[in-house]
Structure 1
Amino acid sequence: MQSKNKNQIGITALYCRLSRDDGTESESNSIGNQKKLLSQKAKEMGLTDTKYYVDDGYTGTNFNRPGFQQLIDDIEIGLVSAVMVKDLSRLGRDYVSVGNYTDSYFPEHNVRFIAVNDAIDSDEGESEIAPFKNILNEMYARDISKKIRSSHRLRGSMAEPLSQPPYGYMKSPENKKMDN
């Protein structure tokens, strides 16, 4: 996970991702907090030419995300010299793919990788803990998925609706869990 040249010229990509929004019409609070953290850290590190790449409402279990794909396109044309994320889980929750990007793709493209809260900076050498964090991030995604499916099965077996009532129906005033 080591980049080849510490004195690169190019933008620092500040990548933010959140799986689900927090119910706001505009940018989610978590994305806003990630942006603040990353811009502050970039400034502290002297990385002033920055650009945000954002995927708000996209899962980390695959990399078919518009903001991430734009980031890859910009790396391919040589615009990006560093990628900064809040932590490894923001890059993704697929152990193999995250490892491929951090250990192969970024170094091959001379891109520095920084995960702020995980204290990972490819310019400081290999991170021995990164592979374990990636495995835990993937396991978390699998675990939460199982819990959600289990919860839906339980609610369904208790005849509770699993979604909003269809058009033309409304929730029962006496029992909010049933439709009219």
Structure 2
Amino acid sequence: MTKAAIYCRVDHGSSEYGQVAVSCQRKRLEHYAKRSGLTVTKWYADCGFAGNDLDRPALKKLLRDHAKGKFSTVLVVSPDRLYRGSIPNSPNWSFKIKVVNRQTMKQEQLQAGGNPCRNMQKRSI
């Protein structure tokens, strides 16, 4: 079974909106991991940090844990949650990045024969 980590980020700090946004990201990614048979070893979240700022506590922890071999895949709702700009060329960034967004979820529901429109709510994160 593939080991994965979940990474969430918002730049709104500790505001209520930021906490809700992180919670929504995490739930979506946990749901995807469960449906895909991935083992989530840990989840990481940074609130109040810009995407181009590499000096984020949870991101640093994620990179250290990856270097220790704790997971091979990182789940994110958008590439810019992990980093805005070019991914640094470093062995610490050698993990697979899986973007799980609405389009990903719809494609999987269609492949499974489900109705992607049933029970969907429009939310902005």
Supply the AA of the counterpart residue of 2:71: V
Do the aligned partners of 2:77 and 2:100 also contact (CA within 8 Å) in 1?
A: yes
Supply the AA of the counterpart residue of 2:10: L
Do the aligned partners of 1:87 and 1:118 also contact (CA within 8 Å) in 2?
A: no
More strand by share: 2
Residue 35 of structure 1 pairs with residue 26 of structure 2: yes
Give unpaired runs (5+ residues) of structure 1: 1-6, 121-180
RMSD: 2.7
- How many aligned positions are there? 104
More helix by share: 1
Q: Counterpart in 1 of 2:121?
A: none
* Moved segments of 4+, more than 3 Å: 104-107
Supply the AA of the counterpart residue of 1:114: K
Distance 1:81 1:119, change over 3 A: farther
Q: 2:13 aligns with which of 11, 21, 26?
A: 21
Supply the AA of the counterpart residue of 1:13: A
- Map residues 1-180 of structure 1 onto 2, 5 A cutoff: 8=2, 11-21=3-13, 23-24=15-16, 28-93=19-84, 95-96=85-86, 98=87, 100=89, 105-107=92-94, 111-117=95-101
- For residue 87 of structure 1, report the CA deviation from its aligned partner: 0.6
Q: Deviations over 1:120-159 (max 9, x none)?
A: 8xxxxxxxxxxxxxxxxxxxxxxxxxxxxxxxxxxxxxxx
Deviates more, 1:49-58 or 1:11-20: 49-58
Do the aligned partners of 1:83 and 1:114 also contact (CA within 8 Å) in 2?
A: yes
- For residue 28 of structure 1, report the CA deviation from its aligned partner: 0.9
Alignment identity in percent?
Answer: 31
TM-score (norm: length of structure 1): 0.50
- For residue 63 of structure 1, report the CA deviation from its aligned partner: 1.0
Query: Residue 54 of structure 1 aligns to a residue in which SS?
Result: strand
Q: Deviations over 1:45-80 (max 9, x none)?
A: 111333111101111121110000000000111112
TM-score (norm: length of structure 2): 0.70
